[in-house]
Structure formats: structure tokens, C-alpha cells
């Protein structure tokens, strides 16, 4: 096993273990904090894939933003911290069947797809290429993204200020 493999399995283990805690934890705050490690593990896998910019974005937006927003959501909700949030009925057998079928589908797709492999070359930083593509090939998508963010901005403002009208 090479160093690369060891690092990959380390990050995969972090992601899966903390994801398991997110789902099974009774305390919603513990779930939110385990989600931090899930995001971190995914960021590590992005780095291994050579997507350095995406990894930084993952940490900056998901860990630095979305997770904080999630914890804000917990704080904004009245009397949520001491409530058992898991459902009373957990259907193990149907759940196992559904997960098994999904996993079989994914694994068979993974095994039988003819993946296009190419000899590994030292990847250069992706940031420069992204910056170039944003204002050349994908300029329309870029401007549409601005409008999408504008919609999110106005939506947040109108939801949060509704009672003051």
C-alpha cells in the first residue's frame, strides 16, 4: 500500500465514521459537530484527486459557512437541544434491503464501467484555469450564478424581515 492509499483510506474512514455519528447521534449538536469532520474528510479526498481549489472551497463554504448556519438553525429553534430527534420506529430490514440494492447498483456500475484511465501527470494548480474559464468559456453561467446568488440574498432578506412589514 502506497502513501497515497494510506491517506485515502484515512480520509475515507474519517468521512464514514463521522457520517455514521451524524445519523445515529441523539444530540443534534453532536450531529452538527460530526458533520464538520465529514466535510473535512471529503475535502481531504478532493485534495487527493488533485482538485485543490474545490477542497479549499469545501472547507471555506461548508465548514466555515453551511455548518455555522446549521448551528444557527439549532440555536434559533426553541427547545431542540434536549429532544430525542431520532424517530421511534427504525425499520432495519427494509432499510438494509434498500441500502443493499443501492450499493449493489453502485458497485456494479463501478465494476462494469470502462473507465478512461490516463497516465498520471503532475497536476498543476486548478485555480488559474478556473479563473480563465470563468470569463471565457463559461461566462454566461458565471453571470447567471450572480443572479442566483442575488435571488438567495433577496429570499433570505424577505424571510427574515417578514414580521416587520
Partner 1 sequence: MVTNYIPIFLVLLAASIFGAAVVFSSRIFGPLRPNKVKIMPYESGKDPIGTTNERISIKYYLVAMLFIVFDIEVIYVYPWAVEFKKLFAQYGLFAFVPMFIFLVVLELGFVYIFMKGGLRWD
Residue 165, C-alpha cell as written in the block:
412589514
**What is the Cα–Cα distance from 62 to 119, expressed in whole angstroms?**
32
- Binders in 141-160 for partner 1, by CB under 8 A: 142-143, 145-147, 149-150, 152-154, 156-157, 160
Which of 53, 45, 55 lies closest to 15 in space, CA to CA? Answer: 45
Of 68, 97, 102, 106, the one binding partner 1 by CB under 8 A: 68
Query: At 132, is the secondary structure helix, strand, or coil?
Result: helix
Quick note: the x/- pattern for partner 1 over 109-138, rule CB under 8 A, is: -------------xx---xx-xxx-xxx--
Residue 107 or 141 with smaller CB distance to partner 1: 141
What is the Cα–Cα distance from 12 to 6, expressed in whole angstroms?
A: 10
Report if residue 107 touches partner 1, rule: CB under 8 A: no
**DSSP line for 14-43:** HHHHHHHHHHH-SSHHHHHHHHHHHHHHHH
Q: How far is the CB of 130 from partner 1 (least distance, A)?
A: 4
Return the number of the residue (95 or 131) whose C-beta is nearest partner 1. 131
Q: Binding of partner 1 at residue 96 (CB under 8 A)?
A: no
Asked whether position 65 contacts partner 1 by CB under 8 A, the answer is yes
Q: Which residue pairs from 12-16 have beta carbons closer than 8 angstroms and sit at least 24 positions apart in sequence?
A: 12/41, 12/45, 13/41, 14/38, 14/40, 14/41, 14/44, 15/41, 15/42, 15/45, 16/41
Binding site for partner 1 (CB under 8 A): 3-4, 7, 47-48, 50, 53, 57, 60-61, 64-66, 68-69, 72-73, 75-82, 122-123, 127-128, 130-132, 134-136, 139, 142-143, 145-147, 149-150, 152-154, 156-157, 160-161, 164
Amino acid at each position: 500500500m502506497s502513501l497515497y492509499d494510506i491517506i485515502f483510506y484515512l480520509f475515507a474512514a474519517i468521512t464514514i465514521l463521522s457520517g455514521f455519528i451524524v445519523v445515529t447521534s441523539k444530540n443534534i449538536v453532536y450531529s452538527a459537530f460530526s458533520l464538520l469532520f465529514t466535510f473535512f474528510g471529503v475535502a481531504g479526498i478532493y485534495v487527493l484527486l488533485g482538485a485543490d481549489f474545490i477542497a479549499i472551497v469545501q472547507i471555506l463554504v461548508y465548514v466555515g459557512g453551511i455548518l455555522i448556519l446549521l448551528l444557527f438553525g439549532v440555536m434559533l429553534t426553541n427547545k431542540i437541544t434536549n429532544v430525542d430527534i431520532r424517530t421511534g420506529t427504525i425499520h432495519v430490514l427494509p432499510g438494509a434491503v434498500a441500502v443493499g440494492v443501492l450499493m449493489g447498483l453502485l458497485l456494479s456500475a463501478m465494476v462494469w464501467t470502462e473507465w478512461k484511465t490516463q497516465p498520471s501527470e503532475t497536476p498543476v494548480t486548478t485555480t488559474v484555469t478556473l479563473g480563465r474559464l470563468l470569463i471565457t468559456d463559461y461566462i454566461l453561467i458565471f453571470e447567471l450564478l450572480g443572479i442566483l446568488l442575488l435571488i438567495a440574498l433577496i429570499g433570505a432578506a424577505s424571510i427574515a424581515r417578514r414580521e416587520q412589514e
